[in-house]
Structure formats: structure tokens, C-alpha cells
A = this chain, B = another copy of it.
Amino acid sequence: MTGDVKTFEIVFEGRGAASGKMRNDIQVNWPAQGESFELATDEGPFHGGDGTAPPPLALFTAGLIGCLMTQIRAFSKRLKIPVDGLAVSAQLRWKGEQIGREPYVSAPLGFGLDVEMQSSASREDQIRLLEAAKKGCFIEQTLAVGNVVTHRLKTEDGWIDV
């Protein structure tokens, strides 16, 4: 296929403030859309929190599922592959490794997504739609590659890279 190549950029910003024992109140902004969202994370009593909000990994899980589902429905229209109903199940696995009483080190083990489309489209078209959604999903494309996450720490001399 030929056509003009267009690129666009998506920027999300967020700021979290520690509030309860383990609770974080997090405002997320999507400046280009002028949208703002109030979110929060917490931990259950087992982890020293008050269970007032989902843990961070629950938001991550929902974000991953929602991202793929959104792209399936958005690209359904664009590719003219009808989807009348959609459910996606996911399993996300990590491990932690701890030496003695040191802080543990975590690592991902695997992520799996099961997609159920209610669709009159052929299997081939459903596969084509799913493949397009995978490539369009910002979170999946992020997980697929090694990313550099940069950190700065505020000090009395200003921000330093850590």
C-alpha cells in the first residue's frame, strides 16, 4: 500500500503524592487533549497499606487489557472488520528474588492475552484485526522492547540523574 507517512506524538504526564501509609494520589494529564484524571494506588494490609485503592499492578493490568481492546475496536472501523462484542482475558506474571533481608529484585515472567471477538468476519480478517491492534497498542509496543527509564532526584543543589 502506498500513502503519505504521518507521525504523531502522545505525551502523558503524571504527578503522585504519598498520602496514606502506602496510598498514592496521582493526577494524570493528557495535555494535548486538555484531559486530566484523578487516580490512586494503595496496598492491602498485608503490604502495610489500607486497601483504599488498587495496587499499581492492577492499574497496569487494566491498562494493558484496555489498550488492546481499544485498538481492536478503533481499527475494526478503519479496516471494516465488524466486531459486535469483545472480551479480553489476561494473565501477567512476575517474579521477585530476595537475598537475605535485602530489598528484592523483580523481573517479568510472561504476559498472555486471550481475545474473544463476536464477529461475522472470517477468521483471517479477525487475525488481521488482532495483528493491527497489537502493533497499534502503545502499551504492547512498549513491552516489546527494552526501554530506558530515566530518573532524577531532587537535591538542594537541584535535580541529579540517578
Q: A: which residues have CB within 8 A of B?
A: 1-18, 22, 24, 26, 28, 30, 33, 35, 37, 39-41, 43-44, 46-48, 51, 54-67, 69-71, 73-75, 77-79, 83, 85-117, 123, 126-127, 130-155, 159, 162
> What 7 A-B pairs are tightest by C-beta distance, nearest first?
A3-B100, A41-B66, A59-B63, A56-B66, A60-B63, A56-B67, A39-B62
Indicate if the CB atoms of A13 and B145 lie closer than 8 Å. Answer: no
Q: Please, which residues of chain B bring their CB within 8 A of the CB of A155? A: 123, 126
Q: Please, which residues of chain B bring their CB within 8 A of the CB of A159? A: 114
- The CA-CA distance from A135 to B98 in the complex, in Å, is 11
**Copies of this chain, count:** 2
Q: Most chain-B CB neighbours within 10 Å: which of A28, A70, A71, A105?
A: A70
- The CA-CA distance from A63 to B56 in the complex, in Å, is 4
Closest approach, in angstroms, between the C-beta of A103 and any C-beta of chain B? 4
In-complex Cβ contact of A70 among B55, B63, B117 (8 A): B55
Indicate if the CB atoms of B5 and A99 lie closer than 8 Å. Answer: yes
Indicate if the CB atoms of B99 and A1 lie closer than 8 Å. Answer: yes
- List 6 interface pairs A-B (beta carbons < 8 Å), by A numbering: A7-B96, A13-B91, A57-B139, A59-B60, A115-B152, A116-B154
